[in-house]
Amino acid sequence: ARWQAKKAGVFVHRIVDIGMLEDLIGEYSVLLRSGKKVPALRDIDVKNRYQPPTYVPNRNLIFLSLAAAYAEAHGIDDIYYGAQAQDSYGYWDCTADFVNKLNDVLKLNRKRKIKIYAPFAGWSKRKIAVLGYSLRVDYSRTWSCYRGRGEPCGICPSCVERNAAMSGME
């Protein structure tokens, strides 16, 4: 993320420790060091994909709330959020409806009118990847693996969906 921010001309790149999520809800999600293994996509029963084990309760609401607090404190009006359509099957906080309702809440702020934009919320990962290739995005510098190791695992839900989206575009 630091490399991407620098390339995009972002002058301030902040990393925020959200380790408290593990204490609050760590046993609920395989992504919060619960000791549970991140499953391969093929191992998640199709009927359970509406709420996959990789779901973190209110994750994007938490991230966007932190971003809005930062924006207000630093005089920033616009927040861009990378939600995309494929995640909406299991992550309610990746939908356009979620962003619209969160923007309604942010309109209540009397100090600063902050708006969240999710330009890809209705796009497939494939459509986003095609746009990225046309803009010469260096995808070798991007990451989406849920397992958090030195290399993408290639089998977790995020890796499988990313690989499918980029298939044939190299």
Q: Could you tell me what percent of the chain has a pLDDT over 70?
A: 83
> Domains in the chain and their CATH numbers?
2-123 (3.40.50.620)
Instruction: State the pLDDT at residue 100.
Output: 97
Tens digits of per-residue pLDDT, 100-118? 999 999 999 999 999 999 9
Question: Which string of b and e fits 45-65 if b means at least 16 CB within 10 Å?
Answer: eeeeeeebbbbbeebbebbbe
48 pLDDT exceeds 90? no
**Shortest CA distance to 114 belongs to which of 122, 102, 106?**
106
DSSP 8-class letter at 15: -
Give Cβ neighbours of residue 40 (< 8 Å, ≥ 6 apart): 155, 156, 157, 160
* Mean pLDDT, range 3-20, rounded to an integer: 86
Residue carrying the six token digits 């030195």: 150
pLDDT digits (tens, 9 = 90+) for 130-144: 999 999 888 888 888
